[in-house]
Structure 1
């Protein structure tokens, strides 16, 4: 890690979000400034409860939690990923959640305040629907310029070669209008970590066994929720594996040197009638698309990463999370 990072996490706390929070708490050199709860994997209210549980489990009960609105900025009813993450966001495992109380200050106002209080010092990691960030931009159109960086787990990268099928761009699809606002806003350094690069970051049963071999309150929690996640995805892949979507985005925030290929350019939110995606407006060979595009400020779009370096650190940190958190 290049230097100590102060990070705000905007999250729809499902299973991979929870693993990401543990990673950030245990990796060392990270100050968790606040967490803002949004919708997507579960409801905004359940997301906040899950954040509170993970932070309490990691010995960080004083990190402020702020609630965002319950659904998209369009006013449509939110859609949740209950089949993937369980109704409660953490696998419906009957976990007795540690108590926590969100702050009265709404998420969007907290995002604006933190950026104004510590300009250029804090990174914003966006792991869910971009509703809270869009609401913050409505309050202060320059809010993203005040963050040291903004790393978004969302988007699909450039257009893929013919015949390539991508994972669902869930965080964009959860609130497309909010994603349009974010990718169209003035910013300093905005990084898109899309499903084009997170999907190949595979966690498998060997990773699960490594966690299970180091029993403790944190690793046991992570083992339980990840096991549920692998059970779901085995019907997709024929194996008990999953993609480390949110953890990879966190890893790249802390280790931008792991980005091995990238491109800068405008990102547009596109609806093909079946799915909504945020795309770098370039083809697979980084040429302009065949249709007019919306001119937006350049986004730094990740095209490839050092997966081995990420998985090595993530495995070591997560397997030793209890010991790491004890000595911090």
Structure 2
């Protein structure tokens, strides 16, 4: 068995976040050591309630802290049209608020890193507001984590004429994302929509989740309906991308990433959307405009999607 990764998860607990927690809990080389909530897929209170529901399902007793309910500036964008009003597809689950530490999410991120420097990995699955607030407390925070892996960003500039899915986690709080990508770090890995959007859970895999019959697989299958309702409008098929689970997979097994570029990431806007971009074109050249220097981020550009999807299904159905 490979070395166990002890993971702190910052999550806006929607459907693929819940799948990610199931995946982490099922991997023998992962230990979830704490969870922090943030708005995004649902409001922050629902995110916390969903953390409580999933941890009870898993029999997991770890510190939970409530995090940011809104971005650093402006009002939150809530993706209820994707994840259902409650974040878990409106299945009617009993979701009482779990016991929390009394700290903010940012305070818990800082405390754990100070108590266990170099031991923990931070996995960020939602808007980066908690991480930015934590950096205000400790600007060297990311140097105290073994690694920081985030689901967000859009990779390098794409081939001309190519369109990408919305980079929702960055678009929900671009100011927080700027703080994250400019902060000192040991290792910061960006798993963006350029690779998650093509990592597809297809019809056969979805059927396998439903047929497995374990409490975890049944839950994973049940909450998919709202997600499938949304993504069928993208491809005309009831299939989904594994956004957040892929980030967890790469944290645990970097060989799922088959291509990457280390370089500066900036948050840029076209006036409508904000995206985190590696400041390189598809040909590896700098963009045709000035950009802000930043420490290198490992930007994932290619993945072994088939191998990851097979591992994800195996873990959730075992």
- What interval of TM-score do these two structures reach, taking the shorter chain for normalisation? over 0.9
Larger mean CA deviation between 89-98 and 278-287 belongs to 89-98
SS in structure 1 opposite 2:47? helix
Shift of 1:98: 5.7
Q: Which residue of 2 aligns with 1:161?
A: 159
Q: Contact 1:46–1:89 (CA<8 Å) still a contact in 2?
A: yes
Q: Which residue of 2 aligns with 1:46?
A: 46
Q: Which residue of 1 aligns with 2:289?
A: 291
Mapped partners of 2:313, 2:96: distance in 1: 25
Match of 1:194 among 169, 192, 195: 192
Q: Contact 1:203–1:244 (CA<8 Å) still a contact in 2?
A: yes
Q: Contact 2:65–2:101 (CA<8 Å) still a contact in 1?
A: yes
Q: Contact 2:48–2:97 (CA<8 Å) still a contact in 1?
A: no
Structure 2: any 5+ residue segments left out of the alignment? none
SS in structure 1 opposite 2:69? coil
Q: Which residue of 2 aligns with 1:222?
A: 220
Q: Which residue of 2 aligns with 1:182?
A: 180
Cα deviation, 1:111-161, whole Å, max 9, x if unaligned, reads 011111111110000000000000000000000000000001000000000
Mapped partners of 1:275, 1:226: distance in 2: 27
1:304 aligns with 2:293: no
Shift of 1:295: 0.5
Q: Contact 2:29–2:252 (CA<8 Å) still a contact in 1?
A: no
SS in structure 1 opposite 2:68? coil
1:23 aligns with 2:23: yes
The alignment covers a number of residue pairs equal to 318
Q: Which residue of 2 aligns with 1:35?
A: 35
Equivalent positions of 1:1-328 (< 5 A) are 2-60=2-60, 62-74=61-73, 76-97=74-95, 100-320=98-318
Mapped partners of 1:9, 1:69: distance in 2: 14
Q: Which residue of 2 aligns with 1:323?
A: none
Shift of 1:208: 1.4
Mapped partners of 2:264, 2:289: distance in 1: 14
Alignment RMSD (CA, Å): 1.0
Mapped partners of 1:32, 1:142: distance in 2: 23
Shift of 1:97: 2.4
TM-score, scaled to structure 1: 0.95
Larger mean CA deviation between 147-156 and 215-224 belongs to 215-224
TM-score, scaled to structure 2: 0.98
Mapped partners of 1:154, 1:13: distance in 2: 15
SS in structure 2 opposite 1:213? helix
Shift of 1:45: 1.1
**Runs of 4+ displaced beyond 3 Å:** none
Structure 1: any 5+ residue segments left out of the alignment? 321-328
Mapped partners of 1:70, 1:262: distance in 2: 33
Mapped partners of 2:67, 2:55: distance in 1: 18
Shift of 1:213: 1.0
